[in-house]
Every structure is written in C-alpha cells, then in structure tokens.
Amino acid sequence: MDPFALYKISYGLYIVSSLKGDHLNGQIANTVTQVTAEPIQVTIALNKLNLTHDYVRESGVFSASILSQTAPMSLIGQFGFKTGRDINKFEGVAYRIGETGAPILTEHSVAFIEAEVVSELDVGTHTIFTGKVIDSQKLNDHEPMTYAYYHQIKGGKSPKNAPTYIKEESSEFGGEKYRCKVCGYTYDPKVGDPERGIAPGTSFSELPEDWKCPTCSAAKSEFGQCGKYKCKVCGYVYDPKAGDPDAGVSAGTPFIDVPDDWKCPICQAPKSEFEKEE
C-alpha cells in the first residue's frame, strides 16, 4: 500500500474551537465536512489527546473558522503546534463569541460555521463529532486555504496528532545543491560541471577553491546552500524557493542567508534548530 496516495484527497484548513466554562480553546483541523443538507450537518475529526476534543465533548458545541490563504504561519503554529494546556491560544487573536458560546476568528478566515453536537463516533485515535449547524456566515471574498496550499506554498507540515499525519521516510541523499547569489545558477552535484572538469557526483565542498560560476564567473564564496531545511521541533520546512515573506525573507533566499535571529514561523524555534532535509 502507498500511504502517500492519501495526499491526493482534498482538504481545507480550519480552526475548530469550543469552550469549557469560561475557558476557550481551538486547534487546527483539516477534516471538516458537510454530510447532509436537510438538516445541514457537518462532521469534525479530533484527536482524543487534544484539549479541544475534551471541550467539544463536554460543551456539546463547536465552531469551525475557515482559514484564508492570508493566514500567517504564526497563527497556524499557535493553534496547531502548541497546547491550550500551556497557553491561551486566543491571546492576541481577533475573535468574537458566537451563538453557541464558542469563539469565532474574525481575521484570516473567510467564513465560519457553528454547530451543536448530535452524535459522536469512536474511530480509535480520534472521535468523529457530527454537529447540526445553527449558524454560518461568509466574512469576505478571500480565497480559502486548502491543505495542498498549506503544504506546497506555505511549506507547512501535519502535526503528529492530525488524522492525516503520515511519517515521512528519509530519501537517499544525492548531494546538496548550491545557488549563486549573483546570477541564480544552481550547482547540482549530480550533474557536476563537466565543461570545467568537474565530474558528476562531486559535492560542492570538493570543488576547487578557484572554481567559478559557469554563468557569471562569480567566486565559489558567492554560493549559498539552496536545499530545504526542516525544523527539528515542529517539522516545518524552510524552502528557499518560497522564503518566508511574512517575516521579510524574500523568495529565493538560501537558508544560509536567512538572518540569524529568524525563527520558525510555526513554533518560533531559533534558526539553530533547523537541519538539512535529506
């Protein structure tokens, strides 16, 4: 069986929220689905270890804020990679209280749904809650964030408690690519530079110190690592092609050129907590 075939299933990205007394909590979810039209009902799947799961079960209500593509990674990190047992996830977040008492995001979401739980189904690690929708509203015309957009454009990863989490196996490492900071040429060890006597399979570190960029003749010192780097804390992957525009790091910036005080946009881990993705 190929588990990565499951990546072809389409999902959205949501913040599912609920309450317990005076306490509010929410989490990132990608499994929010409308299942009936009359009455309008939706299902959500929550990991039993998550605090939001307990809040939904006890209160019998939940909201689902449909995230916009404008949602910053810091917001996703706060609700997806941190626990409400340690922090107030809604601190610094724009929200309002809905008809059910559950919080609803008013920024970085395109619409919301509120529902009352009518049934639940135990599916092992998760519980599927079915809710009758009692309120919903479109907030703006922004594009909703899909799970594919989160992975491919934002460079995001699935939390280990997500129902769609699949452990990624390391692939065979064929050598690290380096990009010329002057012209953008990429040195690929698999290809080498045969025109200058550099055989395929030659790593960048093995290149002669007087080797120069084949395109613009820039010195070897003008090259930077252009591979992806993964956060050891939360799994976020920094992709030089995308950069981190929310933090002022433009697309095309090699990891080596990212400022030393830059932090993971998901969990705020320092740059030193990143390692080359193989």
Give me the pLDDT at residue 215, please: 76
The strand pairing partners of 111, in sequence order, are 66, 138
What is the distance between the alpha carbons of residues 278 and 258, in angstroms, rounded to a whole number?
A: 19
Within 10 angstroms of residue 10's Cβ, the number of other Cβ atoms is 9
In a structure prediction context, what are the per-residue pLDDT tens digits for the chain, which is 278 residues long? Answer: 777 687 788 899 999 999 999 999 999 999 999 999 999 999 999 999 999 999 999 999 999 999 999 998 888 888 988 889 999 999 999 999 999 999 999 999 999 999 999 999 999 999 999 999 999 999 999 999 998 888 766 656 565 666 665 554 433 334 677 878 777 778 888 888 888 899 988 988 899 999 998 877 889 988 877 678 889 888 888 988 788 888 999 887 888 788 999 999 988 889 999 988 76
Give me the pLDDT at residue 2, please: 77
User: CA 7, 37, 66, 102: dihedral to nearest 10 degrees?
Assistant: -130
Give me the pLDDT at residue 167, please: 57
What is the distance between the alpha carbons of residues 258 and 225, in angstroms, rounded to a whole number?
A: 11
> Which phi and psi (to 5°) does residue 92 adopt?
80, 5
The CA-based angle 12-29-20, given to 5 degrees, is 140
What is the distance between the alpha carbons of residues 132 and 40, in angstroms, rounded to a whole number?
A: 6
> Which phi and psi (to 5°) does residue 198 adopt?
-95, 110
What is the distance between the alpha carbons of residues 7 and 66, in angstroms, rounded to a whole number?
A: 20
The answer to whether 109 touches 139, Cβ cutoff 8 Å, is yes
Within 10 angstroms of residue 241's Cβ, the number of other Cβ atoms is 10
Based on its alpha-carbon atoms, the radius of gyration of the chain, rounded to whole angstroms, reads 23
If DSSP codes are grouped into helix, strand and coil, which group holds residue 22? coil
Give me the pLDDT at residue 170, please: 39
Give me the pLDDT at residue 172, please: 39
Give me the pLDDT at residue 153, please: 66
b/e per residue 177-192 (b: at least 16 CB within 10 A): bbbbbeeebebbbeeb
Q: On the CB side of 76, how many CA atoms lie within 13 Å of its CA? A: 29
What is the distance between the alpha carbons of residues 222 and 180, in angstroms, rounded to a whole number?
A: 6
b/e per residue 247-267 (b: at least 16 CB within 10 A): eebeeebbbeebeeebbbbbb
